Chain A
Amino acid sequence: MQNNYDIVVIGGGSAGLASAIKASKYGLKVAIIERDNKLGGILNQCIHNGFGLSYFKQELTGPEYANKFIQMLDGTNIDVYLNTTVLEIKKHFEILTISPKGLEKIVCKGIVLATGCRERPSGAINLCGSRPAGIISAGSAQKIVNLQGKMIGKDIVIVGSGDIGLIMARRLRFEGANVIGVYEIMPYPSGLKRNIVQCLDDYNIPLHLSKTVVEVVGKDRVKGVFVAPVKNDFSFDLDKREFIKCDTIVLSIGLTPSNELANQLGLKQNPLTNGCVVDEYLQTSTSGIFSCGNGLHVHDIVDNVTRESERAGENCAKYVLGQLNTTTPHSVYFGDGLRYVNPSVFYEGDEILTINFRSSKIYKNADIIVKSKDKEIRKINKKIILPAEMESVIISKKDIVGDLIVTIKEHKDE
């Protein structure tokens, strides 16, 4: 393999695969750097179905979804570096990698960061009590059960209602575990509605909202947990705390973009997503470096990761070919009702603009309103808007006269 490329995509999961394939269609030399020994990323351990409904109009498992893209590589000249971790990216796009083959320098003209996300650790939620064996993140549990063929315990409490936690509740139940319940600190679940129904309701696994684990008990192995109701100010009602006997705690307490390389490069970060600040092309604060997928902001559906990452690959190719129009930038802001918005910047033109965002709480019968200089250019009525489900609005840039602001307004009459 050569060491000079037009584009290097870092990460060979759903995001990396989609952007590399798109970029290679522009006749450019593209490489994927993947730290695992196979492509597909976390999809490989997601053996449940539900992937691809939107992108392929087919219901696929995670590995099946990944394989569709891995097969598409056959028709391309994309080089794939497996078992390879990026140690450092220097300015001028010089990438230093490590693998069992040794250290390698790879030089390129454009970079797509498709590094995915990681799970937040127990410290992030200040999990109190003892620190015995039997506390495990949902992703680790998924890997152990699905890929390593081992079980993680018998009586299981799940902390947090993230999607992997919900999926694992059902998965562990399948394998004969007693899944005692899912405890969510917020008054609403953080996973998708369909996962609540298909993973919990269908198996009679209770979901406790506004209730969380306040203390872990057990010296060598988990012996149980104390759970308590959460008050409106997020303090715990310890008078009403109760003990639940269990031997395992699965943490599903949120994902956050793996932004180490972005930080190392000094790319501007968005504290609301913990990913990079990007423009409409998914270009970061350094020209030629693009970010997409869960490494940019955590998605709930892989199909959306694919679509976003295709755009990143396409735009990175255009950048390398000198075809990216970045004249007359305008900002995208968000107002009431939103937790964040992506992108932060767009450019005047006549193409379409995709805006992604999450709401800050549950809205019933509300309008998503996009305004430009006080002129309402888009209004979408939604029966329900959930923080757990990423929303997107597509608008034509022709209609826009300046900076954009996105807000959510609830209908008062209900």
Chain B
Amino acid sequence: MQKYDVAIFGAGIVGAFIFDTLTLKGLKCVLIDKGEDVCLGASKANSGIIHAGYDCARDTLKAKFNVLGNKMYPEIAKRLGEPIGECGSLVVGDKDSLLILTELLNRGMYNGVKNLEILDRSGLEKLEKNLNKNIAYGLYAKDAKIISPYHFTIALVEESLLNGGEIKLNYNVNSIQRQNDGYLISDGKENFMANYIVNACAEGVNEIGSLVGEPAIPLTYTKGEYVLLDKDEFGLACRPIFPTPTKNSKGILACPTVNGNTFFGPTAEDIKEYETSVTLSGINKIKTSILKMIDNVNFKRIIKLYAGVRVKTGDDFYINFNENKNYFVIAGICSPGLSAAPAIAEYVANSLIEKGLQVKAIKFTPRRPYTNILKLSNQELSNLIKKDKNYGDIVCNCEKVTKGEILEVLNRTPFKLTTDGIKRRLRVTMGRCQGSFCYPRLIKIMADYYNCDEKEICFRGKESLIVCDIKEGGIYAE
């Protein structure tokens, strides 16, 4: 039976970072998720901001890991070949906001955040062109950055797989038994062993916890709705622009993405059950808040609405290592979870090593980013097309994604992807037409690649079939 040093449950950004960190330290790891892909929860629908760390309450895990994680990101981005926008962030407010901004600045300094500065209107205008006239002051945090949270999750998992990590998707674990020589993990079909269990399952944390015999952690859910704008609107906000925060939330922000879009959100609505629907009231809230902060907004250029859920447990992260059980639980990783994730992973790794796991040097295989024809010079692109003509065959016209790039991703991914999975990796169907031109062809290309019928291609989720067979006889068969 296969035996691992560590089994990590939950393939979000936290699980991915832990998986990759441990694998690169030479530990034999397996990443497990019940979904058909990595990054299907909060990691695919959040603001993508690496916060500076001024917002976290003093002396919290959030503050500690956020500030540490922020510093780690540029090097990780370089290693993975993923873009990172070192654009800083702004918290802006009206003429009465100076006190709150000063408190944020002080808190930031206490938390160990450097490069914080309060700007007046003229200072702000040098950075942003579309601020509402009522905006008088802003806290400029130069260390804040933007990334694509799903690109990072996917890249981290890929890097780990290249370096000896293993992954089990669609794995619905139903028993975890402690035995003398480790845990026996099973879904009723496939069994394996692991010495340590890391539970990074967000909303599923208690499902794993109960199998290990741990008491349930009380969870609450906060839904954040977003609107995504056409690339034409890029530049409305050159960096994340937050309103002055309230007790519950950092507020609805305007933010660019590393791919050249702009988004507004998130709302912060407490919900009873985990669900990611978008609501009329949420969208209206976004519109009202943004107009108080940003001018020249054209809501007609919205191309997509989406939502993500922050799973919380209390005010801080919940990170606990049960050394008797060899069981790590990382729960309640809401904002600034993305910022904190690499530092949390380092902490988990160090704790496991202290406990006795042996670090081994590995022969590091770097992860090469996916080909992006728009990032190549004309000469490079010409050469690439000469080698493989599919790189000259544009499938997604809005985002200029070629058949070659799609086949490359299908080839590189060791599990069957959905159209949504392709979208997150390559931006096919993510542009201004949202796939109305290329979706049919994408389904065809995927079916051809997987040597299956088009009706077996899914959108997202197991029951998410897209097309079906034509009924013989049609209307006349009735």
Contact = CB atoms under 8 A, between A and B. Distances in A.
Contacts, number: 166
A123 B470 contact: no
A328 B182 CA distance: 89
Contacts of A98: 373, 381, 385, 392, 394
Nearest to A263: B232
A147 B443 CA distance: 13
Interface string B332-348: 00000000000000000
Interface in A345-387: none
A87 interface: yes
A136 B439 contact: yes
Size class of the A contact interface (CB-based, 8 Å): 35 or more
A57 interface: no
Interface residues of B, number: 61
Given A119-B436, A123-B228, A132-B461, A151 B385 contact: no
Given A87-B400, A121-B432, A140-B440, A221 B465 contact: yes
Contact of A140 (B439, B463, B470): B439
Secondary structure of the A side of the interface?
mixed
A405 B434 CA distance: 38
Contact of B382 (A103, A126, A131, A175): A103
B475 A129 contact: no
Contacts of B385: 98, 100-103
B470 A149 contact: yes
B425 interface: no
B132 to A, nearest CB: 22
A128 B278 contact: yes
Contacts of A153: 468
Given A102-B386, A130-B277, A219 B471 contact: no
B284 to A, nearest CB: 9
Contacts of B381: 98, 103
B235 to A, nearest CB: 13
Contacts of A151: 467-471
A221 B227 contact: no
A118 B461 contact: no
B467 A221 contact: no
Given A123-B434, A126-B305, A176-B478, A150 B469 contact: yes
A72 interface: no
30 contacts: A35-B397, A87-B400, A98-B394, A101-B385, A102-B392, A103-B385, A103-B392, A118-B436, A118-B437, A123-B303, A124-B302, A126-B283, A128-B277, A130-B277, A132-B461, A133-B465, A137-B436, A140-B437, A150-B467, A150-B470, A152-B468, A174-B474, A175-B474, A175-B475, A176-B474, A176-B475, A176-B477, A176-B478, A215-B279, A221-B464
Given A126-B305, A139-B436, 12 more contacts: A102-B392, A121-B436, A133-B466, A136-B439, A137-B439, A140-B440, A148-B444, A150-B455, A150-B467, A150-B470, A176-B473, A236-B280
